[in-house]
Amino acid sequence: MTVSPIPAAGLSVALAAPSPLLVPVPYRVIDKVREDGGGDDVTSLHVVPVDGDLPGFRPAQISMLGAFGVGEAAISVSSAVDDRRYHAYTIRRAGPITAALVDTPVGGVVTVRGPFGTPWPLPEVATDELLIVAGGLGIAPLRAAIEQAVAEAHRFRRIVVIYGARTPEAMVYRADLDRWAAQGVEVHLTVDTPSPGWDGPVGVVPTLLGDPVALGWHEDVTAFVCGPDVMMHFTAQRLRELGTGAAHIWLTTERNMQCGNALCGHCQLGPFIVCRDGPVVGYEQIERFHRVRGL
């Protein structure tokens, strides 16, 4: 090859090693914890890199978690940011990939690309009240944020957690919820369908807002909301009715994610490329797209 070194009109970027996010890193499963009380199969994998150190992350960041020969799924890191023993990934058995992940035995290996993505803007929160609203497994990307808020509880007058699940058995992190309540967090639980022994509220999470959960006005509240799109939509609407400023409401975005590098086009949601611009986005930015079905 005698191609001249004189630059062509072609590409003006230096060829570099691939972005680390393109390279799957083997992680060992050191423990597995069944998180729900029956019904769903929700399991947390506790993982550590086979070689090297556990990377840092911020609450709500996600990784592409891979099962050998099967594929990858986007899962958020749900352990506390300052827990340097392992990263926890909480996974519901849904399709072949998540099944292969939760079936990985202790001692087995999964691959991780990440963590990446926009975090909950917890360090920037300047309000007295922090409201955390979770629907279903939407509690997983919030767990690290709750742990961090509890650790920094002096910053807030109130920390409120509202968590709704389909049934009492489908609730996850029950021990954590009890511990947070003991640490001063106002924890409110609700279910869509009660079962014998449930004496808490029945109904979707927005029905708790305002009454019984009275909130401060306008600039006093910051809300982090994560759950199914429809739940986030109605929660945000209810918060707006109660006077919470749109700029104080933060939601998550979720779409089919493949590359995690803003190259494959899968995780688009209107103007957002979720792996690049999400998962956490401001309600002001997402509002007009959120209500559109099938976007």
Task: State the residues that interact with other proteins by CB under 8 A.
Answer: 1-4, 6-11, 13, 15-16, 18-19, 21-26, 28, 50, 68-72, 94-95, 107-109, 111, 254-256, 258-259, 261-266, 268, 270-271, 273, 276, 288-289, 292-295
Least Å from the CB of residue 217 to other proteins: 31
Q: Which is nearer to other proteins, 109 or 181 (CB)?
A: 109
Measured from the Cβ of residue 167, the count of other Cβ atoms closer than 10 Å reads 17
Three-point CA angle 81, 222, 178, nearest 5°:
55
Q: Which is nearer to other proteins, 8 or 214 (CB)?
A: 8
Say which residues have a Cβ less than 8 Å from residue 113's Cβ, sequence separation at least 6: 21, 22, 23, 24, 25, 63, 64, 66, 72, 260
Q: State how far the Cα of 237 lies from the Cα of 251, in Å rounded to an integer.
A: 12
Least Å from the CB of residue 119 to other proteins: 16
Least Å from the CB of residue 4 to other proteins: 6
Q: Which is nearer to other proteins, 11 or 214 (CB)?
A: 11
Q: Which is nearer to other proteins, 25 or 153 (CB)?
A: 25
Q: Which is nearer to other proteins, 146 or 275 (CB)?
A: 275
Least Å from the CB of residue 226 to other proteins: 15
Least Å from the CB of residue 293 to other proteins: 8
Whose CA is closest to 189, among 165, 158, 216, 213? 165
Pairing of strands 186-191, 158-165: parallel
**Quick one: 75 exposed, middle or buried, by C-beta within 10 A (0-12, 13-18, 19+)?**
buried
Question: What pairs with residue 67 in β-bridges?
Answer: 71
Least Å from the CB of residue 244 to other proteins: 24
Least Å from the CB of residue 294 to other proteins: 3
**Quick one: 18 exposed, middle or buried, by C-beta within 10 A (0-12, 13-18, 19+)?**
exposed
Q: State how far the Cα of 238 lies from the Cα of 252, in Å rounded to an integer.
A: 17
Q: Which is nearer to other proteins, 181 or 259 (CB)?
A: 259
Q: State how far the Cα of 230 lies from the Cα of 233, in Å rounded to an integer.
A: 5
Q: Which is nearer to other proteins, 97 or 213 (CB)?
A: 97
